[in-house]
Amino acid sequence: MVKFCPKCKNIMLPKDGKLVCTVCGYEEDLEQTDESYELKEKIESNKQEIVVIEDVNTLPTTRIECPKCGNMEAYWWLQQTRCADEPETRFYKCTKCGYTWREYD
């Protein structure tokens, strides 16, 4: 249950056995309230797993130099690896040595 400050109507959070307004600093003892309050923090990982396509036979190819072996042909595909409002990331996989690299716009 969320408790709001009676003075400024902003959210109050538990701190040192009291409910404290995050804006004006108004304090209220937890014992005065009808409900028990518990502050929980949820931490989520921003790690992303990038899947490298294994079946390259169906992918288009382009003329680009492989940074590892110098071959002039690679498979390519696009994948959204950042926020939706950011451009996609272009991936390449060398047709000769199989080295995979990426290119950002």
Q: Is 5 marked as binding a ligand?
A: yes
Out of 27, 65, 86, 103, the active site residue is 86
Q: Is 83 marked as binding a ligand?
A: no
Q: Is 8 marked as binding a ligand?
A: yes
Please confirm, yes or no, whether 34 is among the known catalytic residues: no
How many angstroms separate the Cα of 105 from the Cα of each of 28, 78, 91, 100?
53, 11, 11, 17
Out of 16, 41, 49, 85, the active site residue is 85
Residue type, 37: Y
Please confirm, yes or no, whether 54 is among the known catalytic residues: no
CA–CA separation, 75 and 96 (whole Å) = 10
- Sequence-distant (6+) residues with CB within 8 A of 91 are 52, 53, 76, 77, 78, 79, 100, 101, 102, 103
Just list the catalytic residues. 85-86
